[in-house]
Amino acid sequence: MFAFIIRRLLQSVLVMLTVALIAFALFRFVGDPINNLVGQDTTLQDRQQLRETLGLNDSVVVQYWRYVVNTAKGDFGYSYMHRRPVKTMLLERMPATLELSIISIILALFIGVPMGVYTGLRRDGFLAKIFMSISLIGISLPTFLIGIMLILVFGVMLRWLPTFGRGEVVAFGIWTTGLLTASGLKALIMPAITLALFQMTLIMRLVRSEMLEVLRTDYIKFARARGLSNRAVNFGHALKNTLVPVITITGLQLGSVIAFAIITESVFQWPGMGRMFIEAVADVDIPVMAAYLCLIALFFVVINLIVDLLYYAVDPRLRIDGGGSGGHG
Amino acid sequence: MAEPRGGIGGEVPDLSLWDRTIDALVRARHSDIWYSFKRSPVTMVAAAVTAVIILSAVFAPWVAPYNPFDLATIDLMDASLPPSWMADGDPRFLLGTDDQGRGILSTIIFGARISLGVGFASVVFALIVGVGLGLISGYVGGTVDAVIMRVADIQLSFPAILLALLVDGVARGVLPREAHDELAIYVLVFSIGISGWVQYARTVRGSTLVEKNKEYVQAARVIGRPAILIILRHVLPNVMGPVMVIATIHLALAIITEATLSFLGVGVSPTEPSLGTLINVGQDYLFSGEWWIALFPGAVLAILVLAVNLLGDWLRDALNPKLR
Amino acid sequence: MSVRNLRIEFPTRRGTLVAVDDISFDISPGEILGVVGESGAGKSLTGAAIIGLLEPPGRIAQGEILLEGRRIDNLPYEQLRRIRGRQIGAIFQDPLTSLNPLYSISRQLVETIQTHLPLNDREARTRALALLDEVGIPSAGERIDHYPHQFSGGMRQRVVIALALCAEPRLIIADEPTTALDVSIQAQIISLLKGLCHEHGTAVMLVTHDMGVIAEAADRVAVMYSGRIAEIGPVQEVIRTAKHPYTHGLMGSIPLIGHHVKKLTQIDGAMPRLQEIPAGCPFNPRCEKVMDCCRVERPNLQTVQKSRVACHLFDGADGEARAGE
């Protein structure tokens, strides 16, 4: 197991280095970093000077390595647009995005899994069919459209909920939270639902099909033949066996939740990293784009590691065989 | 069934790929696919809806009541009229007008034209790249295969929308500003297409691996005929079904992605609005009570995507009854 | 245990298929009844019907199933569930897939024991250990907390048997219990099953397509063909003096040690599919001794010596004479 973790860690580092290479290439070769930092009237000499101090005349390998070291330290350089350290900007925005994403995934799991189990067990039931139809609509509706509809109904027509921003936030050091104020919670409702809806339908459909698959297996038939109660069979034996794929997908989805947060944040003018990224794309603010890319990759890598560890917790076959099927490429 | 009728000797001309494809389609018409289509009312409605939207998009200049891009027909006096059935509505504009006096119905029809155009082009692009890379990966094998599939794995774990945004951002940085607006559509097609090739590549690769080791391919190799051509001829008809399913579902996804990018303001240029752009523009007017500017394009987008998704679902089930 | 005139149907879009048609048999305590037939003959379905686990759309259309005089086929699900495992145990074909891979053996045993018997955790575990010992798992104390994938196929089937025996059921339905195992292990499992049942006085319905297993283990045997019983009787009599031409063909297809047979015989053709069962005797297209009446009239079971046979060859008083050969 230890060897397995080491191997996974090495793989993760490799992925991060690759992403850093892309980010570096973006930073170094898309547009001229000097032109983006200085004004039109800067002399050629000054430019050369700056070029030298920034190390842009060193070999590409040296520059890349410096970029990696700086990135690892959290130093992403300065935003072209805002002339502020990207690190500070990210830190300001991160709590908003993380709060929104985590609340959404919790919402998606706690509604999606039970609905999936239900539709799997009562596959021909009336309610199950309604759930399935709704889920198809949920998958077909673009995220931003759901957000707009919610705004129209609950924000404009009913005037129940605020349509933009985070409400009042409370600061703990560098972390700001909207979870502790009434206006913060109210502001969170619509964005969280918007972001959760797609993941919820996905999780529901996944759990359903896994459930149907597992219910067909011999060990479920044998469990029934031993007279175990429906509860024990469905929620003990069957549900646990559906967990492995659910963990994988949910883990991967957590990554896309953060990515989809870009859209949700845009619709609700949520002051998070996603909105910052969109603005960076529109303004070609390369350092911000590169930093966001690295950060998202880091999230993905960490989530993947956690997913792998959860496998071990759930599936004894992996635990004892020493990760034989853990991925020999 | 897929034996080389043309013969290895090359005396008789090989059946061309198209003949085989048509063969397959003719067979399909008499088989379960057609039967299951006729038996599923939901699918028939979905097909009809898709057809209506596609046809009116293709023939937009003739179907739409006005050309929203023709400045001569636009009158600012008509701005922000509600749908015709409402109190202040104008019978000329069934679904009302936007802030510049353009009829919503017309902008929707022209917008759907752009949305569908970008969607189809992206799917074709992804299909060509994916099928090509899949064939190469499966046929050449070894390091090439490993590299392609590794890239595919990594890309698959990244959300398509993020990739498309990055490509778009890079394109903005590389291209001069004026050129970017002109090329926006191509950039969009490229970025959406490139984020969707993986599924095609995986399917085709699998099928190529299977065909590659069959005897007739070996035999062709022995007598010195380029085996890749033979494979092409046999693999492609075999993967037609799965590729069609992927393409249909990908079309729905491509339309959503385009709409999302345009909604976020990094898609097509606002002078030629797609459905996503229309919704983006309309969003600002929600608060002043002019809900129709955003709602109708949104509804059309949702209905289109739902219909295409339903078609994809049905096609997948019809081609692979085991999945049921 | 008695099965009376059982009929199992599958309603489909193209009409109702009759998978099991009017079969009756009894199993007495401590007896092993072998049920043999080709795949699709309805033998596994009969087993599933007895434990009340027919998969929809399959359903019991007619007949009754009695356990110790009580009718059980029409009980509500919850009552039937209490009978499953408690009074009727089941063993399935593939031990590799019969155990939940995510739970340890002890957990699966204890769960089953506590479902049926009022024991606390420690008592249940003690009983689980005793069961594992009884089914011949070496160093059961160590292995009880292992997971299924840590056992070999034969050992897993022993665990499955232990699970079936948890609450000392009166009847065990063993559906092809040895088919998925190595030949050398088959014999061990069969003798284990046989020994346990004779010890505990448990009745067994042993479903298999392997006449060798039947000859080894069963007291009586029922031969099924196209959802009907062709012949049922004491195993020695059925093997040595098979009466139904189908049974005769089956016996001709197994090599017996000590018998010099020039050539193993084989029955031509295949069992008809459910939607194409011919009128009269279902075996008539393949029967060497087919008569006109076989194509029209369905033969009923009739007593011949100690067996009961469904064949027109034995119609009337002189039936036995005609069959003699």
Phi-psi region of B258 (alpha: psi -120 to 50; beta: other; left: phi over 0): alpha
Find the helix or strand (DSSP H, E) in which A171 lies.
Answer: strand A170-172
DSSP-based three-state secondary structure for C139: coil
Q: Residue B8 has what pLDDT?
A: 34
Can you read off the two tokens belonging to residue B124?
A: 């074709």
Q: Please list the rounded mean pLDDT of every run of 10 residues in chain B (324 residues).
A: 34 44 54 69 87 88 76 70 73 74 83 91 94 87 86 77 82 75 84 88 85 75 73 74 86 90 81 84 80 86 90 79 41
Q: Chain A: residue nearest B305 by CA?
A: A140
CA distance A312 to chain B (A): 21
Of C82, C86, C97, the CB nearest to A218: C97
Exposure string of C228-254, with b = 16+ CB inside 10 Å and e = fewer, is: bbbbbbebebbbeebbbbbbbbbbeee
Domains with residue ranges and CATH for chain A: 15-72 (no CATH), 91-274+299-318 (1.10.3720.10)
Residues of chain A contacting residue B305, judged by C-beta atoms under 8 Å apart:
140-142
Token representation of residue C105: 């053996």
Q: How far apart are CA B194 and CA B151, in angstroms?
A: 12
The answer to whether the peptide bond before residue C57 is cis (omega within 30 degrees of 0) is yes
Confidence at residue C292, expressed as pLDDT on a 0 to 100 scale: 81
Is B162 in CB contact (< 8 Å) with chain A?
yes
**Residue C303, phi then psi, degrees to nearest 5:** -75, 130
B174 chain-A contacts, CB cut-off 8 A: 30-31
CA end-to-end distance (rounded Å), chain A: 17
Q: What angle do CA C138, C140, C146 make, to 5 degrees?
A: 110
pLDDT of residue B6: 34
What SS3 state is found at A138? helix
Residue among C166, C100, C160 at smallest CA distance from C131? C166
Is B260's CB within 8 Å of A263's CB? yes
Partners of C17 in the β-ladder = C10
Exposure string for C121-130, b = 16+ CB within 10 A, e = fewer: eeebbebbbe
Between A and C, how many residue pairs show a Cβ–Cβ distance under 8 A?
Answer: 81
Asked whether the beta carbons of residue C85 and residue A237 sit closer than 8 angstroms, the reply is no
Computed from CA positions of residues A240, A241, A242, A243, in that sequence, does the dihedral angle turn out positive or negative? Answer: positive
Radius of gyration of chain A (CA): 24
Residues of A in contact with C94 (CB under 8 A): 218
Q: Show me where the domains of chain B are located.
A: 41-64+95-323
Residue A329's pLDDT is: 29
Instruction: Parse chain C into domains and list their residue ranges.
Output: 2-87+167-323
B172 touches A: beta carbon within 8 Å = yes
Q: Shortest CB distance from A223 goes to which of C93, C100, C116?
A: C100
In B198-217, the residues whose Cβ lies within 8 Å of chain A are none
CA-CA-CA-CA torsion sign (A196, A197, A202, A208): positive
Alpha-carbon gap, residue C55 to C66, rounded angstroms: 20
In this prediction, residue B127 carries a pLDDT of 93
Rounded CA gap, C202 and C169, in Å?
A: 7
B52, B303 in Cβ contact below 8 A? Answer: no
Q: Is C67 helix (H, G, I), strand (E, B) or coil?
A: strand
Positive or negative, the Cα torsion across B180, B184, B189, B194? Answer: positive
Contacts of A148 in chain B (CB under 8 A): 279, 283, 286, 294, 298
- Residues A247 and A207: their CA atoms lie apart, in Å, by 10
| Residues B260, A143: C-beta atoms closer than 8 Å | yes
Chain C stretch 94-133, residues whose beta carbon is closer than 8 A to a beta carbon of chain A: 94, 97-104, 111-112, 115-116
d(CA B229, CA B235): 10
Full strand arrangement of the beta sheet holding C32-36:
C88-91, C171-175, C203-208, C32-36, C220-225, C228-234, C307-310, C301-304
Partner A contacted by B265 (CB < 8 A) = yes
Which pair of tokens denotes residue A245? Answer: 């794929």
- Residues B179 and B189: their CA atoms lie apart, in Å, by 16
Give me the sign of the Cα torsion angle B128, B132, B135, B137: negative
Q: Chain A, 189-218: which have a CB under 8 Å from a chain C CB?
A: 217-218
Kindly list the residues from chain A whose CB atom is less than 8 angstroms away from the CB atom of residue C115. 226-229, 232
- Say which of B154, B158, B260 has its CB closest to residue A144: B260
> What pLDDT, on a 0 to 100 scale, did the predictor assign at position C255?
61
Q: Which CATH class name applies to B41-64+95-323?
A: mainly alpha
Report the chain A residue with the minimal C-alpha distance to residue B279: A145
User: CB A255 to CB B159 under 8 A?
Assistant: yes
CA angle at residue A321 from A315 to A326, to 5 degrees?
70
Query: How far, in Å, CA of B240 to CA of B237, rounded?
Result: 5
| pTM of the predicted structure, to 2 decimals | 0.77
Q: Do chains A and B touch (3 or more CB pairs under 8 A)?
A: yes
Nearest-Cα residue of chain C relative to residue A217: C97
Residues written for chain B? 324
Which amino acid type is present at position C200?
Answer: H
3-state secondary structure chain C: CEEEEEEEEEEECCEEEEEEEEEEEECCCCCEEEEECCCCCCHHHHHHHHCCCCCCCCEEEEEEEEECCEECCCCCHHHHHHHECCCEEEECCCHHHHCCCCCCHHHHHHHHHHHHCCCCHHHHHHHHHHHHHHCCCCCHHHHCCCCHHHCCHHHHHHHHHHHHHCCCCCEEEEECCCCCCCHHHHHHHHHHHHHHHHHHCCEEEEEECCHHHHHHHCCEEEEEECCEEEEEEEHHHHHHCCCCHHHHHHHHCCCCCCCCCCCCCCCCCCCCCHHHCCCCCCCHHHCCCCCHHHHCCCCCEEEECCEEEECHHHCCCCHHHHHCC
* Beta pairing, strands C171-175 & C88-91: parallel
Name which of B252, B287, B295 is nearest A140 (Cβ-Cβ). Answer: B252
Residues of chain C predicted below pLDDT 70: 13-14, 253-265, 316-325
Which of B42, B143, B151, B158 is the best substitution to test chain A (most A C-beta atoms within 10 A)?
B158
What residues in A contact C92, CB-CB < 8 Å? 218, 221-222, 225
Transcribe B207-257 into DSSP letters. HHHHHHTSHHHHHHHHTT--HHHHHHHHHHHHHHHHHHHHHHHHHHHHHHH
Burial class of A265 by CB neighbour count within 10 A (0 to 12, 13 to 18, 19+): buried
The three-class DSSP label of residue C309 is strand
Reading the block at residue A207, the tokens are 């759990």
Nearest-Cα distance to chain B for A157, in Å, is 9
Rounded to 10°, the helix C121-134/C153-165 angle is: 130
pLDDT of residue C44: 83
What pLDDT does A63 receive? Answer: 85
Interchain CB contact of B166 with A (< 8 Å): yes
Instruction: Please tell me the predicted confidence (pLDDT) of residue C270.
Output: 75
| pLDDT for position B21 | 53
Handedness of CA C90, C91, C96, C97 (dihedral sign): negative
Cα–Cα distance for residue pair C11/A243, rounded to 1 Å = 35
Work out whether strand C220-225 and strand C32-36 pair parallel, antiparallel, or are unpaired: parallel
Q: Do A148 and B298 touch (CB under 8 A)?
A: yes
Question: Would you tell me which residues 308-327 of chain A have a C-beta closer than 8 angstroms to some C-beta of chain C?
Answer: 314-317, 320-321
CB C149, CB A211: distance < 8 Å: no
- Binary contact (A317, C85; C-beta < 8 A): no
Neighbours of chain C (3+ CB pairs under 8 A): A
Strand locations in chain B (E) = none
Find the closest chain A residue to B291 by CA distance.
A152
Interface with chain B: mutation pick from A24, A97, A148, A289, highest number of B CBs within 10 Å: A148
Name residues of chain A where pLDDT drops below 50: 321-329
Q: Helix (H, G, I), strand (E, B), or coil: what is residue C19?
A: strand
Rounded CA gap, C211 and B187, in Å?
71
Collect all residues of chain A within an 8 Å Cβ-Cβ radius of residue C85. 225-228
Comparing CB atoms, the residue among A219, A230, A321 nearest residue C100 is A219
Nearest to C147 among A223, A229, A317 (CB): A317
Nearest by CB to B172, from A18, A152, A284: name it: A284
Question: C200: which 2 tokens?
Answer: 């505990």
Q: Which residues from chain B sit within 8 angstroms of residue A156, using beta carbons? A: 286-287, 289, 291
β-pair type (C171-175, C203-208): parallel
Q: A282: which 2 tokens?
A: 């529109």
C2-87+167-323 has which fold? Rossmann fold (3.40.50)
A-to-B residue pairs, Cβ atoms closer than 8 angstroms: 109
